[in-house]
């Protein structure tokens, strides 16, 4: 069965994988409810369990599917969407975590959400991803949908980081660390560090220092096709690079970190565009632009 979306994308929903975070209570119950509904629509369905704490690497999910449904929090959806981006498989999120900023559905509106999906009342948003690796050795190679973070370990010390764009020296940071974010990640760690909110449709990357020891250092928003290089000078403390808060590698001063736009994009299914637009979600879930009086009601 092929369904045409509101933005003229075509989605094959003959085989759907329902992937649930097995470490969140009641997620299996929600997965079985989703499975039951999909089976009643004569769709081939499979259940897969995700155990985030058991391994630092993304689980090798089934590739023989046409659509993935992620049940859990934002971290669950990010992990699944990042994996399936390489196969151009779209992902629909059902929130069963805390914030659920990226998920479109909740456990209370699964049937209504699936009705919209099967009726073509949805859109597919393509989200920019990052690829980060160590040049020239490639001792690590990660992909990220949210952000890449370079940060110290156990000791509370500032780090000296050198930023280059397209092999040209831009600036030096004396800071706790550095975040390179996608538009999707601009509402995550980047937001907490004082970075800008960026609408997800933009082809840009955001560079934000973490607690810089400076009165003049500001975040940078750069075109998505630029190459970011970060060199380190860490003599005294551990320094780590982390992708989406899920993959990490301990650096040393010899590492040269390169970050580029990934050639593939994550595909997220957006249902009820009017009430689930980026700005609506900002207002509803992050209380953006809500006055104290209004927020108290």
Three-state SS at 194: coil
Buried b (16+ CB within 10 A) or exposed e, 126-155: bbbbbbbbbeeeeebebbbbbbbbbbbeee
> Angle at the Cα of 25 (from 21 to 27), degrees rounded to 5?
45
Which residues have a Cβ under 8 Å from the Cβ of 223 and sit 6 or more positions away?
203, 204, 205
**Burial, 99: exposed, middle or buried (Cβ in 10 Å; 0-12, 13-18, 19+)?**
middle
Active site residues: 74
CA–CA dist 82, 145 (Å, integer): 6
CB–CB of 158/174 below 8 Å?
Answer: yes
């Amino acid at each position: 069965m092929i369904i045409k979306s509101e933005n003229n994308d075509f989605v094959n929903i003959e085989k759907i994988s329902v992937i649930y975070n097995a470490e969140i209570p009641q997620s299996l119950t929600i997965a079985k409810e989703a499975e039951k509904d999909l089976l009643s629509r004569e769709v081939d369905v499979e259940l897969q369990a995700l155990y985030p704490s058991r391994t630092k690497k993304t689980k090798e999910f089934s590739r023989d599917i046409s659509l993935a449904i992620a049940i859990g929090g934002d971290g669950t959806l990010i992990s699944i969407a990042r994996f399936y981006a390489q196969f151009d498989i779209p992902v629909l999120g059902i929130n069963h975590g805390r914030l659920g900023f990226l998920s479109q559905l909740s456990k209370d509106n699964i049937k209504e959400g699936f009705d919209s999906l099967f009726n073509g009342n949805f859109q597919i948003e393509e989200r920019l991803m990052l690829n980060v690796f160590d040049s020239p050795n490639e001792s690590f190679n990660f992909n990220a949908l949210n952000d890449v973070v370079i940060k110290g370990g156990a000791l509370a010390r500032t780090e000296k980081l050198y930023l280059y764009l397209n092999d040209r020296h831009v600036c030096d940071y004396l800071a706790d660390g550095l975040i390179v974010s996608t538009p999707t990640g601009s509402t995550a760690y980047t937001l907490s560090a004082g970075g800008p909110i960026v609408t997800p449709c933009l082809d840009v990357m955001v560079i934000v220092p973490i607690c810089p020891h400076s009165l003049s250092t500001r975040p940078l928003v750069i075109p998505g096709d630029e190459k970011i290089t970060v060199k380190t000078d860490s003599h005294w403390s551990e320094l780590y690079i982390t992708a989406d808060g899920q993959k990490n590698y301990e650096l040393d001063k010899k590492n040269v970190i390169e970050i580029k736009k990934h050639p593939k994009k994550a595909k997220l299914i957006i249902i009820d565009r009017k009430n689930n637009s980026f700005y609506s979600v900002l207002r509803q879930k992050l209380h953006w632009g809500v006055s104290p009086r209004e927020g108290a009601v």
